[in-house]
Amino acid sequence: MFVFAMLSMACKTTVNAQNHSKTQDVNALLEKRYQSLLDYPIDSLGFPRSMSLKTGVVKKVPSKDWTSGFFVGNLWQIYQLTGDSRFKERAAVWNAFMEKEKLNNHSHDVGFKIFCSFGKGLEVENNPKYKAVVIKSAETLITRFNKKVGSIRSWDFNKDIWEFPVIIDNMMNLELLFEASKFSGDAKYKKIAIQHANTTLKNHFRKDGSTYHVVVYDTITGVAKNKITFQGFKDDSSWARGQSWAVYGFTMCYRYTKDAAYLKQAEATAKYFINHKNMPEDGIPYWDFNDTSIPNAPRDASAAAVMASALVELYKYTKDEMYLNYSNKVIHSLSSDKYLLNETVKGPFILDHSTGHLPKNDEIDEPIIYGDYYFLEAIIRKKAL
């Protein structure tokens, strides 16, 4: 099947001699991991989010959780890779459980939820009902836009501490707005996406290309008054997944706008990430580049997977081989015994060693659903090159 050929190609790019029987093992293992998604019971309230390998317990969440769309997206993507219609049929079943999220305006995450499920479904089939869900979700997302700030509000919690928080992750939600403008013919969604991207470009980045996690704005003046972290090691550190969201987000914004400033920022942050002195040899970063316990800090495979997918696209626009080499290295590393879950693991996941929220002591060094999602997307994007 195609994915296996792709993995083999990725390995050949980074390793001189590829052991054939080893490649076959990886292929067989991936097939088993894919099957584990079909083995997972259908449950409209139990989207798999992460898993403890110590206890074997799968953490399940309802559709309102920010991660719910990734499992659905993984089913769509495995269908794209294998052509096995069982994955497509199952994806359509789970997609239906997500639809109510189009009206959920409690956070910016409507973008992650709907675009990673319905948006991925639209790559597979031109379904007008899915397009209508994307447009309705975009309508919901723009209710969180503040004209004075020029951004979409990310979170509603901690209102007594943060007046108007915007996190770098929010760049990922703009794809929903760009697509909604295409589907509806109404430019208002795209205009808001561009304003959000421009405000983020102005306030989120440091001179070395790295990004802050959270910028808190004053809603009276529109001024960025605090630059802090929520999930990172400290306010001025570089939380690895945040860097990846930034590169993915600005590369994607370049796709829709051709604004060279977006490409310039994506390149600056990508170079910071790839060339960082604390980047391990295998290309899978520690969860935060500035954790003082490195090299004993946990890795974040999800940050590597998001970056690998983003850099296949960045390579398309720049033709800089450095980006493609990094993506190849990550696909190769994540396909090794160290990261790929073996057949004994009974849970709908593919990769180990992602880190969700270390300061909260939550989801550290374990399988997390979005790591799998961007790993599969990176492979699919490579195929399309």
Residues 136 to 195: which contact ligand GLY by CB under 6 A? Answer: 169
Question: For the sheet containing 165-167, what is the strand order?
Answer: 165-167, 214-217, 224-228
In the bound state, the residue with its beta carbon closest to ligand GLY is 169
295 cis-preceded (ω within 30 degrees of 0)? yes
Of residues 88 and 299, the one with the C-beta less far from ligand GLY:
299
CB 105 within 8 A of CB 140: yes
Any contact of residue 204 with ligand GLY (CB under 6 A)? Answer: no
The torsion angles phi and psi of 217, rounded to 5 degrees, stand at -105, 155
CB of 66 to ligand GLY, least distance (A): 6
- Tell the burial category of 60 from Cβ atoms under 10 Å away from its Cβ (0-12, 13-18, 19+): middle
Binding string to ligand GLY for residues 341 to 380, with x set by CB under 6 A, is what?
---------------x------------------------
CB of 162 to ligand GLY, least distance (A): 15
Maximum pairwise Cα distance, the chain: 63
Pairing of strands 165-167, 151-152: unpaired
CB of 86 to ligand GLY, least distance (A): 30
CB of 310 to ligand GLY, least distance (A): 14
CB of 37 to ligand GLY, least distance (A): 21
Total Cβ atoms within 10 A of residue 217: 24
CB 203 within 8 A of CB 215: yes
Binding string to ligand GLY for residues 52 to 81, with x set by CB under 6 A, is what?
--------------x---------------
Residues 77 to 136: which contact ligand GLY by CB under 6 A? Answer: none
State whether residue 50 is helix, strand or coil. strand
CB 334 within 8 A of CB 375: yes
Q: Which of 25, 39, 169, 236 is catalytic?
A: 169
The torsion angles phi and psi of 300, rounded to 5 degrees, stand at -135, 95
Pairing of strands 151-152, 145-146: antiparallel
| CA–CA dist 143, 139 (Å, integer) | 7
CB of 269 to ligand GLY, least distance (A): 15
Q: How many chain residues interact with ligand GLY (CB under 6 A)?
A: 5
Task: Name the H helices within 174-234.
Answer: 174-184, 188-203
Q: Which of 39, 43, 84, 109 is catalytic?
A: 109
CB 233 within 8 A of CB 293: no
Residue 84: active-site member: no
Of residues 40 and 66, the one with the C-beta less far from ligand GLY:
66
Residue 109: active-site member: yes
Residues in the chain: 385
Distance of CA 240 to the CA centre of its chain: 12
Of residues 65 and 259, the one with the C-beta less far from ligand GLY:
65
CB of 109 to ligand GLY, least distance (A): 7
| CA–CA dist 231, 254 (Å, integer) | 27
- Taking CB under 6 A as the criterion, the residue among 49, 241, 299, 332 binding ligand GLY is 241
Of residues 66 and 205, the one with the C-beta less far from ligand GLY:
66
Of residues 67 and 80, the one with the C-beta less far from ligand GLY:
67
Of residues 231 and 318, the one with the C-beta less far from ligand GLY:
231
Tell me the catalytic residues. Answer: 109, 169
Judged by the rule CB under 6 A, the positions of this chain that interact with ligand GLY are: 66, 169, 231, 241, 356
